[in-house]
Structure formats: structure tokens, C-alpha cells
Amino acid sequence: MSPSQVDESVTMTEEAPTFAPCLPVPNVQEMVRKNPLQVPKRYERSEEEMEKENYKSHLSSEIPIIDFSLLSDGSKEELLKLDTALKEWGFFQVVNHGIKTELMQRMKELTAEFFGLPVEEKNKYAMPPDDIQGYGHTSVVSDEQILDWCDQLIFLVYPTKFRKLQFWPETPEGFKDMIEAYSSEIKRVGEELISSLSVILGLQKDELLGLHNEVLQGLRVNYYPPCSTPEQVWGLSPHSDASTISVVMQDDDVSGLEIRYKGSWVPVTPVPDALVINVGDAIEIWSNGRYKSIEHRALTNQNKKRTSHVSFLFPRDDADIGPFDHMIDAENPRLYQTLKYGDYLRHTLNRKLEGKTQTDAAKIKE
Ligand code: OGA
Ligand code: NI
């Protein structure tokens, strides 16, 4: 077996957790195909909400770029840049990560082919109502909730025992192997970045990774169909990620990802071949708020669809997440409770995406 081939023998579905249920939602792509001009009420944001969240900034080009190869060579200067990037933005783009352009392009092509299949074919991989893996949607918890303008395809990739290969598409040919090949590259890059974060957090290089042993890694492919009135909907509601870090591969030529920065929304303009990285709630809590998991959202476009591949790297379930002792002092009193990460993750996955509410819930009550 070549390293990029999926080993079918490792499926042990009885061990794989389901994490969280989600109410059934319409397939957005089908809705748009049948009636491109219609935006059902369940997707329409109130004017009040849109007004409040309409502050645009033009700073996108300033989101820091970090050179992965310097970082992995142990460059102090690059580590310092990373520290500044995280304090200032919580987001950065990483270049020279060693993932081949062809591999990234091929992953995008196969994803596009999958989403181009008839809905009956895609629904062979439909996400069950009690699970987060498969083709569907997550984070819908009430019938009154305004819905996001996207469809999702989600897999847990690592540890391999959590895989549910029945959700890994047989078509297009080679997609399954590519999910494996792409994710193993993201694992390599992600683990190196977690080692750098460990140093920045004042720990030994491999200490933070020890709290991830073995890293729980998920892949969420978000597919945002065009929307006739993009100013009325959100592709993905404002939220922060529960992860340690998230690694986003964006389309090269379509934007949509925005981050909250000093009271306005800053677009993360795609840099070809770069990966967008953000730190998640686990880092915010471990660092006692020194590094924040920044709120972000995705907007839709009027004429173009957009796809993003988001890999989440999570701590292990039984890791304690609470501020490290050395992050607390007289000037920085303890802000968060200590929780088992598994409980935090499940708590988050059982909610709708709603800004920073899940991290706020982990704060010590006054
Ligand atoms: C996510 C996310 C952003 C994007 O999936 O958590 O933030 O650009 N996605 O799709
Ligand atoms: Ni996110």
C-alpha cells in the first residue's frame, strides 16, 4: 500500500464517537440550483444584525505571513513574528509549508467534482442526525435558528480508529486517497506549528503536542453556493473554533473569509499556495487569554461559489484545558475554569455558531 492510500482495515466504527446531533436542514446547493433568486426566510439575517456587523476594514493585506521553513528550522526571529501575529491578529498565513501545489490543486479539483455530482449521489454519504461526519450540516440546534448558506462534508481523519469510511466518497475516483494524502500533510504542518506554539507559550517544544497524543484531526469542507443577495445571509455565522489550531485552504480566486479585528471585519484575501492558520479556544484558555481565538465568519458571493477546506487539530479528550500556572500572575488573574477538553468540545459542538459564547461560558464567573 502506498502511503497515500486509505487502509480500509483500520475502520473500527464502534469506537468512533458521534459528538453532536444536528437538526435536518435543506441542501443549499439544490435550493440554489432549483431557484437561484430565492432566499428563504430561514436564511435571512435581520437588518439589525446585518447593520451591527457591517463594519468593513481594508486591512486585509496586513494579515501576517509566516515562513514555515524558517519556523521549523528554529528561527528565533520567525518565532517572534509568530508571537506578534498571534497577539495582534490571532490569524496568519503560512508559506513554504512544503505541501506541493499539485496536491493542493488536486484536492480542490476532486472536491469540486464531488460537489458537482447529483444530490442523490452525494446523499449516499449523508450525515446521520446524531453525527458530525458525512455530507450535511452541523451546529443547527433549534427550528428558529437562522441558517447558514452552505453545505458541508466532514470527516474525522485522525486518529484512524475514529474514521467512518462509509462517509468517504467512492466518487470521484481517488477522492478518498486524496483526503488521506492531504490530511497527512496538514498533520505534519499542524504538529510543527503546535510545537512552535508550545515554545511561545513558555513550554518545552513537545509539551503541547503531548496534550494531543494522538492529535484528533477533522476535515470540514465548506461549500458556499452563490447567493443572489449575499448581503442578507451568512455563509458561516461568526464564531471561534474550539480547536488548538485550524488550518484553512481557501480557493485562490474567491474571497469570503473575514475576521473580527478591532471592531471591524477584515477579509482574509487568498494568497496562492498559502494556508490560513488561526488559533482556537484551547490556546486562548491555556494562555489565559494572552492569545485569543479570534471570531471569524464566511460571506457568500453573488455569482461565484466558494469552497474552503478547514482542518481542525484538537487536544485529546482527557487533556485538562485551563490556564497554565505560569500564565497567571497579579496582573493576569485567572480568567478561565479548568475543564476536560472532551467536555468542552462536546459542549461547543452542541451549540449553534455564535461568536465567542462558548469561550465566555468557560470563564470564571465573577
Ligand atoms: C470553519 C471556518 C471559514 C471558511 O469552517 O470553521 O471558519 O472560510 N471556515 O470557510
Ligand atoms: Ni472557523
Question: Which residue of 115, 137, 308, 353 sits with most ligand 1 atoms within 8 Å of its CB, as the best mutation to test the pocket?
Answer: 308
Pairwise CA distance, residues 275 & 94, whole Å: 5
Q: 347, exposed or middle or buried, with CB in 10 Å at 0-12, 13-18, 19+? A: middle
Dump pLDDT digits (tens) for 155-164. 999 999 999 9
Residues 281 and 353 sit within 8 Å (Cβ to Cβ): no
Pairwise CA distance, residues 297 & 122, whole Å: 25
Domains in the chain (CATH in brackets) are 3-362 (2.60.120.330)
Residues 250 and 257 sit within 8 Å (Cβ to Cβ): yes
User: How far is ligand 1, taken at its centre, from the CA of residue 218, in Å?
Assistant: 13
Dump pLDDT digits (tens) for 329-342. 999 999 999 999 99
Pairing, β 91-95 against β 65-67: parallel
Alpha-carbon separation of residue 221 from 136, 156, 349 (angstroms): 10, 12, 16
In sequence order, the β-bridge partners of residue 216 are: 314
Pairwise CA distance, residues 216 & 316, whole Å: 7
Dump pLDDT digits (tens) for 31-71. 999 999 999 999 999 888 887 777 676 666 678 999 999 99
Cell matching residue 88? 495582534
pLDDT at 365: 83
Helix (H, G, I), strand (E, B) or coil at 218: strand
pTM: 0.95
Ligand located closest to 309 CA: 1
pLDDT at 165: 96
Dump pLDDT digits (tens) for 99-119. 999 999 999 999 999 999 999
Residues contacting 230, CB < 8 A, separation 6+: 299, 300, 301, 302
**Residue percentage of the chain with pLDDT more than 70:** 95
Cell matching residue 273? 499556495
Residue ranges in the chain assigned as alpha helix (H): 28-34, 47-52, 68-72, 76-88, 101-115, 119-122, 175-200, 207-210, 281-286, 341-349, 357-361
Across 204-208, average pLDDT: 97
- Residue 298 Cβ contacting ligand 1 at under 6 Å: yes
Pairwise CA distance, residues 156 & 146, whole Å: 26
Across 297-322, average pLDDT: 96
Ligand 1 atom index nearest CA of 150 = 10
Alpha-carbon separation of residue 142 from 139, 151, 154, 262 (angstroms): 9, 18, 21, 31
Residues 51 and 253 sit within 8 Å (Cβ to Cβ): no
User: How far is ligand 1, taken at its centre, from the CA of residue 242, in Å?
Assistant: 12
**For residue 126, pLDDT beyond 70:** yes
- Residue 241 Cβ contacting ligand 1 at under 6 Å: yes
